[in-house]
Amino acid sequence: MKTLKTLALLFIGALAFVGCEPGDGDDTSRKGLILVADKTTIYDNGEDCATFTAYCDGETLTQGFQLYIGEEPIEGNTFSSTEQGTFKVWASYGTLISPEVSINVVATPPPAPAAPADPQPTKTNFVRRVLLTQFTGTGCGYCPYMINALYQVANDETLNSKVVFSAAHLFNESDPAYLSASATLDNAMGITSFPNLVVDLNKSTKGVQPMFADVSNAITTAMNRVAVKGGISVSSKYYADEEYIVVTATVKAKEAGEFRVGAWLLEDGIKANQGNNGISALPGVDFNTHNNCIRIADSQATPNVFSGYTLGNIEAGATASREFAFKLKPNGTGNKKNWNHDNLRVIVFITTKEGENWYVNNVVTAPKEGSVAFEYAE
């Protein structure tokens, strides 16, 4: 017996899905029927839900489409569950069907902490930092050039307060810091060579030469690219028995606008021999100790978009919050199967729209347990 989806495909017949390359900021401009979820992981409490938006040739559909899980129709445009597992959701619209979207239903995490108090509620002149994402791997023989350059940035008094570092280990799967759960981050940023560096999730910045002067210029360019539009406060709590870090991220707008927010879990101090094509380490650099390694990149709103989850429009001086829950691998020496919980921390960033694309506008670092209040400029 043919399934409903098979019959739909047969009805379409020779029609093929037509696609075009997505832009930097979103992937909803592709032709055909596209289904997008506001989040792809939800909790099994029956209340947390994924909300779906359907696009046809880049235009938002407000009615006329139907969602399904397998052969079962879904009422409305949301999905929740009390059963754990992966559910594949697809949509039909006239003669079109969309690619499936996988929704992972996971155990409900422990409660998130309360947001920290705002030290100066009337202020909105926030300190701004840029996000540097290093694309690297232990098998990359030329990556020590970038390691040296970033070490110089971290130890430069005029630059170190302007940046937050992250490292996406995606060169080789044998790397103990390999970012297996979000291996599309390199695809989303258009990375085809290593070492590489992306500033503020702006893929047009890739290709920065792995030298201090070039990285310094990239940071300055990013700081001058756009004014700060919002600040971030973070509360985090570590649950050792449950193996969770749960985060409350609060965004405060300097000016009214639409904001997205993302959070990444990082681990420092992972020991692994680094490939090296005869490059000398600067004094103080240990090529075989890997810091800022991204373990979980929880900002993947759609498969090729890591710009975070929407907070909607926030009025100037107002706030909006989102909770993040990182399910940890067992505590142990940093590798792919075990993470050293003592060396874990979190970065939280906001993105805002610049032209047609979404780029990081601000970013902060937070401990695995503790709080970071809004940071205001003098």
Give the chain's mean pLDDT. Answer: 91
189: tokens are 């940023």
pLDDT at 26 over 60: no
Query: Could you count the other beta carbons within 10 Å of the beta carbon of residue 313?
Result: 12
Residue 334 confidence (pLDDT): 81
* pLDDT at site 357: 95
Q: What is the pLDDT of residues 149-176, one digit of tens each?
A: 999 999 999 999 999 999 999 999 999 9
**Are 323 and 246 spatial neighbours (Cβ–Cβ below 8 Å)?**
yes
The answer, as to whether pTM is greater than 0.85, is: no
The structural domains of the chain, ordered by start, are: 4-106 (2.60.40.10), 130-372 (2.60.40.10)
Q: How far apart are CA 52 and CA 28, in angstroms?
A: 12
SS3 content of the chain, % helix, strand, coil (to 5): 15, 40, 45
Cα R_g (the chain), whole angstroms: 21
Q: Would you state the structure tokens that stand for residue 181, as one six-digit string?
A: 């759960």
Ranked by mean pLDDT, which of 16-25, 100-109, 297-306, 348-357 comes out on top? 348-357
Residue 60 has pLDDT above 50, yes or no: yes
CA atoms within 13 A on the CB side of 232: 29
Q: Using CA atoms, how far apart are residues 365 and 353, in angstroms rounded to an integer?
A: 22
The H or E element containing residue 217 is helix 212-225
Residue found under tokens 């099994």? 44
**16, pLDDT greater than 70:** no
